Amino acid sequence: MVSKKVGNNIINYIKDRLLVNHPFLGMLVASVPVILISKDATRDNPISWIGLKDGQILIEESSLLKYFSSNEDIVYMSYLHSLLHFLYCHDILTGDSLEAEGALEGVFKLADSEVNEVLCELESIDLEVTDDHTYWVYGDKSTRSVSSEEIARRKELSRKVLTNLETFSKSQASQGMLLALRKAVRDKKDYKAMLSLFALPEEVVKVSMDEFDYGMYSYGLSINPDMPMVEMVEVSDDTRIRDFVIAIDTSGSTAGHVVQSFLDKTYSVLCTEGAFAERTNIYLIQCDSSISKETVIHSKEEMERVVSSLPISGFGSTDFRPVFARVDELVKDGTLTRLKGLIYYTDGRGIFPSYAPTYKTAFVLTEDMYDSANVPGWAMKIML
């Protein structure tokens, strides 16, 4: 009982120290409870000594006393470390970054690295710390889950802290902290869902199993084997990619492996079952300040060959207008009769058209490009 009282006093002292140094974090400190647990209780709550669980910071009290008596900076930095994880929603949104089995440890390291970079900017203490990730929720690979309401609540708190940092406390926050926070509260649009907007419904000749009646068909055959009473329904509505334009900004800032990553992702999405129509016109246009290369793709197989070995041309400054002028020309001469849109991979820094096109347009950017890109209001802004 004595150690818990002492532990609470230490926590209050650490909170006061943090608020003196960084008063803009007051809303965050007040919103995240700290729960002291005894050594015996760690059998039910296994934790190294500090870490997040269900929106609370758990601290094992004997370790707290040990670290505080040897070097209070360890406690201070570890508490701030966990607090920043909470602010950036790392403990509940790590599933966004998981791409494959076995990637979890890398995700944790990435989150720790992001927080430690901010700590270096905020503090002049040469001390790198980490915390326990046992209770982090990481999508399908986790045995625990977080409700959509809880995620929304957490993001709303982070937005409030961000708003405070960008207005009243603008001079106090580091640039790294602001960038990481904007990334945490950003509502990511699904790239796959965005691409589906460019597909048009069309009639496809195939058996529609939803409309076929096996009972009536079998009964008809039993009466007259040569003339079934019910014919198979062979026409159904479906969705296919018909006329489609993919533009690539080949200026220096978007060249190399980042372009290949975009192409690989786009190919993966487009090659989902049924994405290609029998007659497909996909124009792949490379452009910096002018169009340097134009490739026309008519099938999934062609798409695969082009994506796997596409030479990139350009590397000059960025002007988006030539691509839009070219697409307008293709629409006008009847080459693209069913065009619904254009996706343009870019860093978002260049000369935009002065008019809104008649077709949907999406500018696709990576995370590090997203916030700085000044995309016009008539276009979608999508994070890859």
Is the pLDDT at 220 greater than 70, yes or no?
A: no
d(CA 166, CA 179): 11
d(CA 78, CA 71): 12
Q: What is the pLDDT of residues 228-258, one digit of tens each?
A: 655 555 545 556 667 888 888 887 655 566 6
Residue 358 has φ and ψ, to the nearest 5°, of: -85, -10
- Residue 354 has a pLDDT of 87
Tokens (6 digits) for 175: 């640039």
Q: What is the pLDDT of residues 307-360, one digit of tens each?
A: 777 766 656 678 889 999 999 999 998 888 888 788 888 878 888 988 888 888
pLDDT mean over 221-229: 65
Q: Quick count: other Cβ atoms within 10 Å of Cβ 172?
A: 15
pLDDT mean over 301-312: 76
Q: Quick count: other Cβ atoms within 10 Å of Cβ 238?
A: 15
Cβ atoms of 251 and 291 within 8 Å: the answer is: no
**Residues pairing with 202 in the sheet:** 238
- Residue 92 has a pLDDT of 84
d(CA 233, CA 208): 6
Residues forming CATH 3.40.50.410 domain(s) in the chain: 191-203+238-383
d(CA 305, CA 338): 24
Alpha-carbon dihedral 310, 315, 320, 326, rounded to 10 degrees: -50
Single-letter amino acid, residue 88: Y
Band of pLDDT at residue 149, cut at 50, 70 and 90 = confident
The pTM of this model reads 0.57
Q: What is the pLDDT of residues 21-64, one digit of tens each?
A: 988 889 999 999 999 988 776 566 678 899 999 889 999 998 99
Alpha helices per DSSP H over the chain: 2-21, 26-31, 61-70, 72-87, 90-93, 104-122, 148-166, 175-185, 191-196, 214-223, 257-270, 300-308, 321-332, 367-370
Band of pLDDT at residue 182, cut at 50, 70 and 90 = confident
What architecture is the 191-203+238-383 domain classified under in CATH? Answer: 3-Layer(aba) Sandwich (3.40)
Q: At what angle do helices 148-166 and 72-87 cross, to 10 degrees?
A: 110
CA-closest candidate to residue 278, choices 206, 328, 359? 206
Band of pLDDT at residue 152, cut at 50, 70 and 90 = confident
pLDDT mean over 197-220: 58
The residue among 312 and 378 whose pLDDT is bigger is 378
